Structure 1
């Protein structure tokens, strides 16, 4: 896995930019993808330690992307944080069942997102 590299998969450029700035301020490097297919290609090449993915994206949604990542032995251990405006219990459950380690509602708090991602990465690194 590529230490300090986080993939941001979100079709909203403003969200990708905001998350990139927040992650870089916390010492991470960030790559952005505007859809699920682009994110899937980046995952297999870059092998990040974590991914933040929106649920609703063109080409491949976040749940499909999450399932794809969890099925790939080279990247299945990375931390995955799902974000969405869909915040009903059903949506959260579906995101977690698809393989996400955590699920945060939009609009996002950058500080909360970075803290949550750091916790997930630490847990994955420690095998918790």
Structure 2
């Protein structure tokens, strides 16, 4: 995971800019994109600690982006907040079923957004298994080194 990096996927330029500004002011570096396809590529490449995605976007919607995050091992523990003007209970249920940690309605107060994001990141970090040594749990930090003897 890329520590503190937040990926924003939002097709409305004004909302995207406001989210980016709000998160940066709270100490989170951001990458902001206008559609789900670009977000999917960046999600896999950058491995952000958090993803804030609009539910309705061109290319790939927020629900599909969330599903992608949950089924991709490198980013399955990314905190996912779906952000939408669709506020029916059925919409929120669909977001949670897709694997979102939170379903927030537009508009939302910046303090509420930051608090929810921080809480989800903390919850997901606490759920990660501890490794006794560096990456991959090996003293040399090499997650790809062979373990054991093959004959």
Fold agreement, TM-score > 0.5: yes
CA RMSD of aligned residues (A): 0.9
Once superposed, which parts of structure 1, at least 4 consecutive aligned residues long, lie more than 6 Å away?
Answer: none
Relative contact order: is structure 1 or structure 2 higher (C-alpha 8 Å, sep ≥ 6)? 1
Secondary structure of 2:73's counterpart equals coil
Larger Rg: 2
- 1:9 aligned partner: 9
Counterpart-to-counterpart distance in 1, 2:14 and 2:56: 15
Q: How far off its partner does 1:108 sit?
A: 2.1
1:20 is aligned to 20
Select the structure that is richer in strand: 1
Task: Give 1:90 deviation, angstroms.
Answer: 0.2
Aligned length in residues: 128
Residue deviations 1:67-98 (CA, integer Å, cap 9, x gap): 01111000000100001000000000000000
Unaligned stretches of 5+ residues in structure 1: none
Instruction: Give the gaps of 5 or more residues in structure 2.
Output: 129-151
